[in-house]
Amino acid sequence: MKIRVVLYPSEEGFAVCAPNLPGCWSQGATEQAALENIAEAIREYLGTEVKPDEGAEVREIEVAV
């Protein structure tokens, strides 16, 4: 799976986010460290299960890109 990320250079190193995953941010002292850290953040983000409200119906759909 490929996910687009955006790097932001700073005085401390790099901040990085995954724009299509709201709130998914990380950082690192180097570009490589920031990319490794955001990869871990993305794995955790995608692995989090949010339980729906009571009475909601859950379905899965397939979306072709």
Helices (H), 15-63: 31-47
Q: What is the pLDDT of residue 50?
A: 83
C-beta separation of 43 from 30 below 8 A: no
Q: Which residues of the chain have pLDDT under 50?
A: none
User: Any idea where the domains of the chain sit in the sequence?
Assistant: 6-47
Q: What is the pLDDT of residue 34?
A: 98
Place of tokens 């995954």: 18
Read off the pTM: 0.79
Q: Please, what is the average pLDDT of the chain?
A: 95
Q: What is the pLDDT of residue 65?
A: 79
Query: Could you say which DSSP state residue 62 is in?
Result: -
For 57, the token pair is: 């119906």
